[in-house]
A = this chain, B = another copy of it.
Amino acid sequence: MQPNFTRRDVLRGSVAFAATVMTRTPLAALGFPEPEAGSTPVPFVTPQIKSPNRPMVHWDTLTDWQTDNASVYVVSHYNKPDLAADDWRLNVAGFVERPATFTLADLKQRPRKELLATLECGGNGASPTFLGAAANVRWTGTPLAPLLKECGLKKRGLEVAFFGADQKQEKVREQEFEMRFSRSLALGDALRDDVLLCWEMNGQPLPREHGFPLRLVVPGWYGIAWVKWLTRIEVLDRRLMSKYMGREYVTIRGEDVGGQTLWRETSVSFMNVKSVVARVLKLKDGTLRVSGAAWSDGTPIQTVELKLDDGPWQPVKLDTTRQSKYSWTFWWFDWKGAPVGEHTLVSRATDADGRVQPAPDDPAIKLKKTYWEANQQWSRKIRI
């Protein structure tokens, strides 16, 4: 497991400051190759937009493989309940032989599991103002599957529905309902051994805005599935179609089928293969060190390639020592002899199943008419 190098000052600091910290913690240990002393950051022509009130990953100062809690994006659709750990209960109900209620202490006595997994908002990358809603976090909790099995799954079970304590008055079909946030997973997805009931982020109790005291962790899936403030789990014999299943987080995508566009609406679920150019450093000898991250739904990242201006796609180096199934992979490329002027850098990732991160003009992106699942290649410009 990754040591807990999550100090905010490391993440947010300048390269110079980071270099100071590096005397104690080599950058290499944090996932990036060690920049030489005296290297300087190369700014982007259009920097990532940062809002002081909105936690985000800031790609251009990112040095740590793991994201500290304060930099993890927060997206919540209903209220943000302030739950007391002592009063909190988790109910397991529905198509189980033995419905059960768990306290937080009950859960903490169960087998403990930690994993590093990238959490990404389904809307991340949809616009230039929303490019840092991804984070790589060490999650701690207990696996869901054995708990469900202990409750005795009935044969009619088709889905597992997760209800948060967060709620909102919603108008549905001209009627008002006090709706609780809910999402579901197909039974097979819910029973994966890496789906966790999680109470810690990076070794700290879950912060309130991340779902204290318990959230679902669904590695490889977009954040909408990672239900926060979890208080109820129901095994259902039919499909849940709550607002955030059936109406929101639904991707509309077209495809040319026999000369006609066939439109499909599908639920945002597992993460599409994606990479980003995070930052560029100019080393002492003038080499431009381009680095970034790539991630997927857990399918191994096979290659990341980088295109410099109108050049060919060139393979980059993957930080294989740090690859972890559901975590992003850091990568870097040393560009020697870059001419003075403006340059365009764009990366693309390919996973072991052969799925390639699409170009913005790929039909898979051009015919996507909603903002979710925006995994198109993200072009960035520098001036040197």
Contact = CB atoms under 8 A, between A and B. Distances in A.
Interface string A229-259: 0001000111111110111001010100100
A186 to B, nearest CB: 6
A313 interface: no
A180 to B, nearest CB: 7
Interface stretch (A15-23, A260-268, A282-290): A260-268
- Majority DSSP secondary structure for residues of A touching B: strand
B186 A158 contact: yes
B266 A177 contact: no
Contacts of A147: none
Q: How many copies does the complex hold?
A: 2
Interface string A213-242: 000000000000000000010001111111
A177 to B, nearest CB: 5
A1 interface: no
A264 B172 contact: no
Contacts of A180: 262-263
Nearest to A236: B266
A173 B252 contact: yes
Contacts of A270: 237-238
Contact of A241 (B177, B186, B261, B267): B267
A263 B236 CA distance: 14
Interface string A161-188: 1010000000011010111101000101
A263 B179 contact: yes
Given A247-B247, A265-B172, A252 B177 contact: yes
Contact of A264 (B182, B264, B267): B182
A50 interface: no
Contacts of A186: 158, 186, 239
Given A245-B241, A245-B246, A246-B246, A263 B178 contact: yes
Given A177-B252, A369-B173, A239 B257 contact: no
A99 B349 CA distance: 27
Nearest to A246: B246
A17 to B, nearest CB: 43
A370 interface: yes
A69 interface: no
A269 interface: yes
Interface string A360-380: 000000000110000000000
A238 to B, nearest CB: 5
A178 B237 CA distance: 32
B263 A177 contact: yes
Given A173-B369, A241-B245, 17 more contacts: A156-B353, A173-B370, A178-B261, A186-B239, A232-B257, A237-B270, A238-B269, A239-B269, A240-B265, A241-B246, A241-B265, A241-B267, A242-B265, A243-B265, A245-B265, A246-B246, A246-B247
19 contacts: A156-B353, A161-B264, A163-B262, A173-B369, A175-B369, A177-B252, A178-B261, A178-B263, A186-B186, A232-B262, A238-B267, A239-B245, A239-B269, A240-B265, A240-B266, A241-B266, A242-B264, A245-B246, A246-B265
